[in-house]
Chain A
Amino acid sequence: MPHVVPVGYRHRVPKPASLIEAHRLVKRFGDFVAVDGVDLQVQPGEFFGFLGANGAGKSSTMRMIGCVSPPSEGVLRVFGLDPIKDGPVIRSRLGVCPQQDSLDEELTVLENLVVYARYFGIPRRVARQRAEELLEFVQLSERITSKVEPLSGGMKRRLTIARALINEPEILMLDEPTTGLDPQARHLVWERLFQLKQRGVTQVLTTHYMDEAEQLCDRLVVMDHGKIIAEGSPRRLIEQYSTKEVVELRFGNLPPETVARRINGRISEHCERHEILPDRILLYTADGDAAAEAASREHPAPSSVLVRRSTLEDVFLHLTGRTLVD
């Protein structure tokens, strides 16, 4: 419910308590440290994201917040409660879409939702009604009596999201909700998540899609080897870790390495930072057009020049490097 607070009194309104609060959170599997001292807060209504390469520790963190995996060390509070002591109470207020679908393939779409609703103590009649509404919401109404097994991957994912909403959760935990979806399905999911945000549902998301994070997240953290290495809004992260624009230069069949050697030290005069990749050279700069122009006057001249805005992907690759982690 929106609170109307007179302007003069705003400073007296206490900051809303964090819904999720982690302090020096650690998760170990044997000797292996999957989550290594994570600090974070998620505020009510916020859309919070985790970025990170495969194995960075995103899911492990999500599972601790979801109270299915006990922290090895550190402090974790969800709704101000302790996951170890109050797991069932916390879980009753969470909606979880895990990375791995765990639908019951033998049951129908409707049965999957109703059975799950019963775990939350929701009366059968209410469960049925909510299930029907949610299937409408994720555009699966036509498949309501179909078994889950023959559904496409995208349908299963949408069903999993619908299931996560069956208890009208205060926090929705989404672990890679759109991985493997076709563009239509992804856009549908984004729309729905955005609508939920407008309704005030707090959401925590992990994703490998930078455009997804950029579109949806108010604030995000980049994880690397179990640690948080950057934090902020997408815009702020781009400002902080990349330049405003990027120029991509290609040289036909000429290897960029060779080009770079021929141009010698002059590349760095055109930009703040550059990167030589096997197929192209990237110039990071505040003024893309100027850099592109300067680069075009060089010999050899690039065969193609592309000026674009910096994206979260540039930030991500800059922070976590281009080499495979896994």
Chain B
Amino acid sequence: MIHPAMAALEYHLVCYRRSWRGTIFTFFVVPVVFLLGMGWSIGGYLDGDAAGQGGLGVSYLTFLAPGLLASTAMQVGVGEGTHPVYGAFHWTRTYHMMRMSPLTTTDILVGHLGYILVRVTISATGFLLVMALLGIVDGAAGLAALPAAVLVGCSMSAFVFAFSATITEPVLLDVVYRILVVPMSLFAGVFFPVAQMPAGARLAAGLLPLWHGVELCRSATMGIPSQLGAPVHAGYLLLWTVVGFLVARWAFGRRLAG
């Protein structure tokens, strides 16, 4: 018999079958255009620099792409954890419908997070494919960037799930983007090495899950060692995922207990 959480996942996949076309633009076209635009414009400026590629040692496109891979993964995880989750409680009442069946709160949460996993995997795969076509993936080892990106997506998503389950004002969902997504994208080493920031900011960046994801992705696609070693980065992201999941489970339970 199908596991209840799988049945919940199946629901989201059935919906995705209807809506996937609409997600291509936001989660594939936009990041790729962004990559090419930034890579070629800023890259053209940096790469021709007398000091040689702004001190990066590689083309800006090669440097930027794994960073954007990680941040795209994060954006899918966050984007799918905000309005869709809030809406499933308050607008479509999808979770309430699931709750009338044998599904438990945990099944409902695991099913939806499983769907996030699928979505992040699809987006990251697409992006990685573009990178491969551009010739900026360092051999087969670059494939390791995929699980890394998926992990970033999940580590953020679980917490965002908890947040969306707790708030009762949908405008607060925008706060996630303003205080989480945007600053994190700017200061987690996606666009420039964190080494260029003052010591305090560098330390702060070290706490951001995205920075750990960027490090993992960059080390995979560029074939260079990461700053703290893959186990530390992956372990940190896993910790966020697990704690986020526990908080989300608590928040879901509270919201659905009525």
Contact = CB atoms under 8 A, between A and B. Distances in A.
B51 interface: no
Interface in B1-19: 1-2, 4, 7-8, 10-11, 14-15, 18-19
Interface string A90-110: 011010101010111111000
A115 B100 contact: no
Interface stretch (B91-99, B121-129, B143-151, B157-165): B91-99
Contacts of A94: 100
B104 interface: yes
B11 A88 contact: no
Contacts of B94: 102, 104
A251 interface: no
Contact of B10 (A70, A88, A100, A118): A118
A106 B94 CA distance: 11
A118 B100 contact: no
A70 B18 CA distance: 36
A100 B96 CA distance: 10
B258 interface: yes
A119 B8 contact: yes
B186 to A, nearest CB: 35
Interface in A69-101: 69-70, 87-89, 91-92, 94, 96, 98, 100
A68 interface: yes
B214 to A, nearest CB: 35
A123 to B, nearest CB: 8
B102 interface: yes
Interface in B211-258: 256-258
Contacts of B92: 102, 104-105
A107 B15 CA distance: 7
Nearest to A92: B102
A113 B216 CA distance: 43
A288 interface: no
Contacts of A6: none
B103 interface: yes
B102 A115 contact: no
Contacts of A87: 104
Nearest to B99: A68
Contacts of B8: 119
A253 B257 CA distance: 54
Interface of A: 63, 66, 68-70, 87-89, 91-92, 94, 96, 98, 100, 102-107, 111, 115-116, 118-121, 167
9 contacts: A68-B258, A88-B4, A88-B104, A103-B97, A105-B92, A107-B15, A118-B2, A120-B102, A121-B7
